[in-house]
Structure 1
Amino acid sequence: MTDAPQAAERPAFQLKSTTVSLTALELAYFDTDSFEATLRDKIRQAPGFFRDIPIIVSLDHFEGPTGELDFFKLLGICRRHNIHVVGVRGGNDDQRRLARNAALAVLPGSGRGDREATAPEQAPEAEPALEPVGARPVSANPAAARVVTQPVRSGQQVYAPEGDLIVLASVQAGAEVLAAGNIHVYGPLRGRALAGVNGLEEARVFCQSLEAELVSIAGHYKISEDLQATGWKAPVQIQLRDDLLVVTPLDRA
């Protein structure tokens, strides 16, 4: 007897949900020369970070004319620099149609611009006023932190989708840790740390030794070259202030 019939009955693949961290390229306008010059400058700052990286092009803040938005030229420039565009986020109907014609995935926009444009001057009396994220009452049952006791090794990704992530060891180069809340690393942080991945701007990153390739909070990031200016290889906390990442030594926090 052989296993051929059983193999034929087994499905060739399965679909499972997963979480993958993607870098968004916020496009304000598209000019071929300006785009490539800016891209080269970014790659010079961190060549290892951009090599073979998948990205999405965000059109949430695109202000240029749609007629100049040539996705085939944009894709060609990115491919020459080993950057892979996998999709487009936001944009109007014409821009999304151009993206589909270039065989790109189309993702919904962040919705910020739409909410700002359609917000009424005065909310109806029956509707409660929107309150800032930081003013929301603390839940009686906050999400439990995810605790990792082993080193996070190169190529590994650890994700806390609802709360904080606590790593009681090192995060090695080439590894990635992500959390909806804060990230605590009780050891050297040498890989990438992305806190507040769902947009929580109050999230922070704490580590015993800052040696990171990249740190991001709510989509705002700094790469290794920028991080070395303050607190390098020292215990620090990193937080977002006025859309800028600020590094503070823990003994002065």
Structure 2
Amino acid sequence: MQTPSLELKGSSFTLSVLHIKHQDLEKVAQELDSKLAIAPQFFLGAPLVVNLSAITNGDYSLAGLKDLLVSRQLVIVGITAAPSAIAAQAKDLGLAIIKSGKQSDNQPQLPKTTKIVKQNVRSGQQIYAKNGDLIVIGAVGNGAEVIADGSIHIYGSLRGKAMAGASGDKNAVIIAKSLDAELVSIAGQYWLTENLTEHSTTQSGCIRLDGDSLSVEPLAL
């Protein structure tokens, strides 16, 4: 019996959803560049579904938006929640039209794995714990990035960037023995050094989401 040359199977993949909330592409470009500057290597080549529910103008240039994202090395795989006129543009551009799933009040499932790093993370290094928590037994230096779909635990000083809940888990936390970070982020909400200094006087702390804002509380170590 001849072996088939292809096989079609159902599967599921995690895709990031980019919500476009302004029709001015120049303004979108400025804000996008600001976001990408936070962790450029993490977003390079990232497949995106673009949510256009906030765009009501049927003359909106989807081709212009696609060119903008491609120029930043992002990849549009499809659009969702778009007016019919924009959906027609998507077909001409070869983009999929993806129906939004039912909204759920439940938070994303808890991480399934834990990645443990027993070393200092140095400038220029990036460590990503996909679908799980990240534990760093060591320091995260200036210019280093640690990213996790779940929570991040650092048993040392955090001086670089830490991004927890990268796939949208709002229950994720960042815990560090010493907080002096360039940036901390949970589910897309972030603080820079000056924000962290403004909201915290503690050396060791736990950063979590409180509604749509970050908060930090001291640890009893």
Q: Deviations over 1:97-129 (max 9, x none)?
A: 6457668x76957x4xx414xxxxxxxxxxxxx
Measure the CA separation in 2 of the matches of 1:239 and 1:246. 6
Determine what percentage of the aligned residue pairs are the same residue.
Answer: 31
Contact 2:150-2:172 at 8 Å conserved across structures: yes
Corresponding position: 1:27 with 2:20: yes
SS at match of 2:38: helix
TM-score (norm 1): 0.59
Partner of 1:169: 138
SS at match of 1:172: coil
1:178 to 138, 147, 150: 147
Structure 1 position 60, deviation (Å): 2.8
Measure the CA separation in 2 of the matches of 1:32 and 1:154. 33
Partner of 1:60: 51
Please give the residue correspondences for 1:58-207 in structure 2 after superposition, counting only pairs within 5 Å.
59-60=50-51, 62-74=53-65, 83-87=72-76, 90-92=79-81, 95=86, 98=89, 111=100, 114-116=101-103, 132-133=106-107, 143=112, 145-207=114-176
Contact 1:152-1:172 at 8 Å conserved across structures: yes
Partner of 1:248: 217
SS at match of 1:164: strand
Q: Greater strand share, 1 or 2?
A: 2
Change (3 A) 1:77 1:158: closer
Change (3 A) 1:235 1:101: farther
Structure 1 position 187, deviation (Å): 1.7
Unaligned runs of at least 5 residues, structure 2: 1-14
Structure 1 position 248, deviation (Å): 2.1
Structure 1 position 91, deviation (Å): 2.0
SS at match of 1:228: helix
One-letter code aligned to 2:102? R
Change (3 A) 1:156 1:238: same
Partner of 2:31: 39
One-letter code aligned to 2:210? R
Unaligned runs of at least 5 residues, structure 1: 1-21, 117-129
Structure 1 position 198, deviation (Å): 3.4
Measure the CA separation in 2 of the matches of 1:155 and 1:100. 40
Change (3 A) 1:69 1:189: farther
SS at match of 1:67: coil
Contact 1:27-1:58 at 8 Å conserved across structures: no
Change (3 A) 1:199 1:74: closer
SS at match of 1:227: helix
SS at match of 2:128: strand
SS at match of 2:156: strand
1:214 to 179, 183, 195: 183
Corresponding position: 1:230 with 2:205: no
Contact 1:210-1:232 at 8 Å conserved across structures: no
Contact 1:25-1:58 at 8 Å conserved across structures: yes
Q: Deviations over 1:60-119 (max 9, x none)?
A: 36322253432454467779xx8444326542576466457668x76957x4xx414xxx
Root-mean-square deviation (CA, aligned residues, Å) is 4.3
Measure the CA separation in 2 of the matches of 1:92 and 1:173. 40
1:49 to 38, 58, 70: 38
Contact 2:66-2:76 at 8 Å conserved across structures: no
Change (3 A) 1:56 1:160: closer
Structure 1 position 242, deviation (Å): 0.8
Contact 1:156-1:176 at 8 Å conserved across structures: yes
